[in-house]
């Protein structure tokens, strides 16, 4: 069956995937494999692998943060547009710029705050409950990915346009 050219699926057909989307797919696959391994081990041995839950939880922020980048760049993130759509064109553009500015500011704040959290975990030598590895190994991704989102969104919304 041929997909009509005006459908969203047809628009996605020739599109290349960003590196964020590829990494998100790999992280999802890792979570599925880790969780499935835990289910199989639990079924056959009646014991749970303690590390699987910890690893899955550690991968979820990577999944969420990197998954939000393509959503922001392609205007597919959740937003309420009831009032903005009723504004005159000039005010709509201003509202969209303000939205992008506030979002970039939020992720810059999150970068700073998460970096402080990660540094505190490093400084106080906190360890994870199941594996006993340094906790900052898991939280280092929060400031890094927040910074990636802030930069990618700022470049997309305020950078040079071709």
Q: Which is it for the CA torsion 25, 26, 27, 32, positive or negative?
A: positive
For the chain, give the mean pLDDT.
Answer: 87
Distance (Å, whole) CA 13 – CA 86: 32
Distance (Å, whole) CA 88 – CA 59: 43
The predicted pLDDT at position 162 comes to: 45
Distance (Å, whole) CA 78 – CA 76: 7
State residue 134 phi and psi, 5-degree precision. -55, 130
Distance (Å, whole) CA 89 – CA 99: 15
User: Coil, helix or strand for 127?
Assistant: strand
Smallest CA-to-CA distance from 104 within 64, 160, 147 is with 147
Give the mean model confidence (pLDDT) for residues 65-87: 86
Residue 63 has pLDDT above 90, yes or no: yes
The predicted pLDDT at position 1 comes to: 47
Give the mean model confidence (pLDDT) for residues 98-102: 93
Residue 2 has pLDDT above 80, yes or no: no
Using the 8-state DSSP alphabet, how is residue 4 labeled?
A: P
Largest CA distance in the chain: 64
Contact 17, 73 (CB under 8 A): no
State residue 127 phi and psi, 5-degree precision. -120, 155
The predicted pLDDT at position 89 comes to: 95
Give the mean model confidence (pLDDT) for residues 24-40: 94
Distance (Å, whole) CA 128 – CA 137: 9
Compute how many other C-beta atoms are within 10 angstroms of the C-beta atom of residue 145. 22
Give the mean model confidence (pLDDT) for residues 15-32: 89
User: Coil, helix or strand for 91?
Assistant: helix
């Amino acid at each position: 069956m041929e997909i009509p050219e005006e459908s969203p699926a047809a628009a996605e057909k020739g599109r290349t995937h960003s590196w964020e989307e590829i990494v998100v797919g790999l992280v999802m696959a890792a979570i599925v494999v880790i969780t499935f391994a835990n289910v199989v081990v639990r079924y056959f041995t009646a014991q749970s692998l303690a590390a699987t839950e910890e690893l899955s939880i550690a991968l979820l922020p990577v999944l969420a943060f990197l998954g939000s980048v393509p959503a922001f760049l392609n205007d597919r993130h959740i937003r309420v547009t009831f009032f903005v759509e009723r504004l005159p064109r000039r005010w709509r553009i201003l509202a969209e710029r303000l939205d992008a500015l506030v979002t970039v500011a939020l992720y810059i704040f999150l970068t700073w705050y998460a970096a402080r959290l990660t540094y505190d975990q490093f400084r106080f030598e906190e360890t994870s409950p199941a594996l006993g590895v340094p906790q900052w190994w898991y939280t280092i991704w929060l400031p890094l990915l927040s910074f990636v989102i802030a930069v990618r969104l700022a470049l997309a919304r305020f950078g040079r346009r071709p």
